[in-house]
Structure 1
Amino acid sequence: MEGFVSLLDPRNPDVRVELGMARAEYALRASSMAFAEQLAAIHETLIEARAFPEIFVGPSYLSIPDAVAFAERAAIADLAVRLGLAEQTVRAQAEQARVLLLCAPRVWSGFRDGDIPAPNARIVADLAATLPATAWLAFEDAIVEAASTVAPARFRGCARAARERVQPEAAAELHRRTAEERRVWVEHDIDGMSWLTAYLPSAVAQRAMAHLDCVAQSLVSAPDEPRTLAQLRADVAGDLLAGVLGSEGPHVGVAVGVMVPVLTLLGLSEQPGTLEGYGPIDADTARELAGHAPSFIRILTDPITGTILDIDRTAYRVPADLKRWLQMRDGTCTFTGCGRRAADCDLDHNIAWADGGTTSAGNLSHLCRNHHRLKHNSRWKVEHVPEGITWTSPTGHVSRPDPPPF
């Protein structure tokens, strides 16, 4: 019939929309199945590492204390490098698989079949891990249906409520134990900004926020105040933590390195500087910090050579000037993908001092305590190449050097 458009005709927008919806649903289901398979593979690989530690630590290391633990850590590092994940993430995913298999097998089955989305499965694993074995069945009974039908934003609330109902421990004791995990951390963003996050008891967090609100509200009404309330809260929090406000309390001096190309410092170049623990900062900020902030240690670099200190030393101990430069150069632990600050790491002689290695920039690099011990107690191998540092895993995977921090 002339002018008739079939519902199956791809030119029909209704059909295209329906196909798009179906593709999205299929992709979500497939992604859940794939993620469940990833968790299962990680979990099973670590079981193999514990059962056959010689794969990761080598026969000659089997006699060392905690050989199995080192094998597991070496395997986690191997997986992290191959998958492009943080080691903490690999460990967490292995634990999620273990908990779901043990504590919520029906949720695990639905997750592997694609019926339960990955965010909901992670929520179940995280909450089930905090419950005693006697409460696992009741908890799974309460959330297994919702896990497949409720969106993650709402499911978290449902699952938390179910956990509270089946939790046999006293709430006060639970809070006391969880409060021991309080901490503060920083996550770097772009354009010279970072997130400063604190995990605190709720009462403390609420009082802290109320105090910020009170101070910010007292400032926002000033006739010449251009900042918004949100900006004032952030500025007040930063000033309080940096010691600008509340000077009646004890003052603790903090030294942070800022590395500035000499031409930038002289105003002849706009090449960015480097702020220790963060990375590149704009030239104006670098000049201001280098010129006016007494709590910043100024490190000037030659515009051509970069003044890299690569002078052989005759002593094992790393001199303070070289140590400071290396801290700026590396920025973080030099193991592939590790983000621990260099300031919190060990300085390792890549070629051991006893084997003729020198105390020089070309033979020194920062390793966090975990990767330092892993280097010496497992089959992980490190090598200096012109582009940086290359690591070879116990299973033969070679990782390319991470790019420099500046």
Structure 2
Amino acid sequence: MSSYPPDVEDFDVFDVSERPWDESLPDARIHFDLGRAEFAGSQLARAAAEQMGAIARVLDEARRHPEIYVALDDEPTKRQLGIAMDAAIADIAMRLSMAEGTVVAQAHQADLLRQRAPQVWGAFREGEISAANARCVAATLDSLPENAATDTALDAKAIEWAVLPPARFKGRMHTLRERLHPISLTERHQEAAKGRRMWRENDRDGMAWLGVQVTAPDAEMAWQRADSMARHLAEQPGETRTLDQLRADVVADILTGRLDPATAPHATVGVLIPMMTLLSLSEEPATLDGYGPIDADTARKLTKHAPSFHRILTHPVSSTILDVDRTSYRPPADLKRWLALRDGTCRFFGCGRSARYCDVDHTKGWAQGGPTSATNLAHLSERHHTVKTESLWKVEQGPGGILTWTSPTGAIRTTDPPPF
């Protein structure tokens, strides 16, 4: 690897004894900026390795010293250790504005590389292998049974291919994994099929991505069916949609039951729509439960076919919810509906779990005098509800449903309910 930052002597394109180094020359500027770009890439890799290693070390410390994150009177129980780890993961995630799953993944990747691919880990820390390629090595190791000879072979090959771009490097790693794996492909496929899943990712402008991981034969058959139906529709008189649009519409029609409403499963979708928008007197966006802002036309179409409405009284100017104070521990149905629409997701910093799968938590505990009202309730996932209640994390709720979270190590962040 060349030294950084680049020196004039490194650029043998120019004979500096005969020609002065002049940054006003375009070839000189290009040469310098290429060197700067290479140096920046090396520094990015070094920083990624440092962050990954630091995350792993924090979790190691939390595992050895759970008292930093949970109150202990004696030796920690298994449950307390688990809560301490969850609290530490949440602390890292909040400080780094990172998903908690990413925190766990990075710590695991660092451990894998340190223990099973020391050459790659060393090169990564020196900025000689990109973060993408280092993560690919970790993922490959994670999919292989631990074996000293296999790990050494993979480590050596990864160093040999370190300069390859990520796509090419990933292809080499895939081929190498097949050669090194001691378990048959049949057995591996049976195990991998257990991880099939479906997911959704929100996009901009009222759109979202819907993905599904299934076996390769099922994926091929599903694709062929959607493609065949789309091509059939494309041949119909007056059809103007593209094949991509038709395939997407076919899949959406099948999954939502629009093709056969009689057999469609019942699904409830919450929409918070301003009354003036509903009456077509305003184009103010509505809020779709689990997504966020949607345009007025789409909101009116959804409410047009709604079997029933739930009225929530709001202040005509400030939109503040009225009549929310309650004297019982459990919030009534109308208040729960409002809170679900207000929060949308778990209210812990960075958590995207839908409110419909979360607990309604009293920010100030009921036993400590906290009322059952919109000003003291918020949705928390089961995980973050436990962290908030049983670890040293603290949370306060301010006007407008704004939560202020303080971690056991002193980090402070606020989370706003939509529309932020």
User: Please, what TM-score do these two structures have when normalized by structure 2?
Assistant: 0.90
Give the Å deviation of 1:306: 2.4
Superimposed CA distance per residue, residues 254-276 of structure 1 (whole angstroms, 9 cap, x where no aligned partner): 01011111111112211111111
Indicate the residue corresponding to 1:350 in structure 2. 363
Task: Specify which of 203, 206, 209 is matched with residue 189 of structure 1.
Answer: 203
1:139 aligns with 2:154: yes
Equivalent residue runs for 1:5-404 within 5 Å: 6=19, 8-60=21-73, 63-134=76-147, 135-146=150-161, 148-246=162-260, 250-294=263-307, 303-306=316-319, 308-309=321-322, 311-386=324-399, 388-402=402-416, 404=418
CA separation of 1:251/1:24 partners in 2, compared to 1, >3 Å: closer, same or farther?
same
2:336 aligned counterpart, secondary structure = helix
**Is this contact kept in 1: 2:52–2:106, CA < 8 A?**
yes
* Equivalent position SS for 2:287: strand
| C-alpha distance in structure 2 between counterparts of 1:100 and 1:23, whole Å | 28
> Structure 1 CA distance, aligned partners of 2:364 and 2:239?
58
Q: Is the 8 A contact 1:262 1:303 kept in 2?
A: no
Partners of 1:201 and 1:123 in 2: how far apart? 22
Q: How many angstroms apart in 1 are the aligned matches of 2:49 and 2:308?
A: 49
Q: 1:404: Cα distance to partner?
A: 2.7
Partner Cα distance (1:27, 1:191) in 2:
34
- Taking every aligned residue pair, what percent have the same amino acid on both sides? 50
**C-alpha separation in 2, matches of 1:20 and 1:245:** 57
CA gap of 1:390–1:44, structure 2 versus 1, over 3 A, is same
State the alpha-carbon separation in 2 of the partners of residues 174 and 362 from structure 1.
51
CA RMSD of aligned residues (A): 2.0
Alpha-carbon separation, structure 1, partners of 2:112 and 2:416: 33
Q: 1:326: how far off?
A: 0.4
What secondary structure does 1:66 align onto?
helix
Partner secondary structure for residue 99 of structure 1: helix
The question of whether the paired residues in 1 share the 8 Å contact of 2:116 and 2:151 is answered with yes
Q: Distance in 2 between matches of 1:267 and 1:374?
A: 44
Give the AA of the match of 1:384: Q
In 2, Cα distance between equivalents of 1:114 and 1:143: 14
Instruction: Give, in angstroms, the shift of residue 22 of structure 1.
Output: 1.0
Distance 1:63 1:25, change over 3 A: closer
Identify if the C-alpha distance between structure 1 residues 246 and 403 changes in structure 2 by more than 3 Å, giving closer, same or farther: closer
Q: Please name the residue that 2:13 is paired with.
A: none
Maintained 8 Å contact 2:256/2:264: no
Compute the displacement of 1:59 (Å).
2.7
The answer as to whether partners of 1:271 and 1:283 remain within 8 angstroms in 2 is yes
Question: How far apart are the structure 2 equivalents of 1:106 and 1:92?
Answer: 20
Instruction: Please tell me whether the aligned partners of residues 262 and 301 of structure 1 are also in contact (alpha carbons under 8 angstroms).
Output: no
Q: What is the deviation of 1:106?
A: 0.8
CA offsets 1:178-198 (integer angstroms, 9 cap, x no match): 111111111111110001111
Match of 1:157, SS? helix
Q: Is the 8 A contact 1:53 1:72 kept in 2?
A: yes
Q: Which stretch of structure 1 is more off in the superposition, 349-358 or 83-92?
A: 349-358
| Contact 2:375–2:398 under 8 Å retained in 1 | no
Q: Kindly provide the amino acid, as one letter, of the partner of residue 138 in structure 1.
A: A
CA contact (8 A) 1:263 1:303 kept: no
The match for 2:4 is none
**TM-aligned CA distance change 1:7 to 1:151, over 3 Å:** farther
The structural deviation recorded for 1:307 is: 5.2
Contact 2:273–2:285 (8 Å) recurs in 1: yes
Alpha-carbon distance in structure 2 between the residues aligned to 1:60 and 1:158: 53
Q: Structure 1 residues 103, 379: CA separation in 2 closer, same or farther (over 3 Å shift)?
A: same
Secondary structure of 1:334's match?
coil
Residue 400 of structure 1 aligns to a residue whose secondary structure is strand
Compared CA separation, residues 33 and 111, structure 1 to 2 (3 A): same
Quote how far apart the aligned CAs of 1:7 are.
Answer: 5.7
Once the two structures are superposed, residues 63-102 of structure 1 have per-residue CA deviations (whole angstroms, 9 ceiling, x without a partner) of 4542222111111100111001011111111011011111
- Deviation at 1:139? 2.4
AA paired with 2:84? A
Deviation at 1:299, TM superposition (A): 6.1
Output one character per residue of 1:124-158: Cα deviation in whole Å (capped at 9) or x when no partner. 10110111112322322333311x12110111111
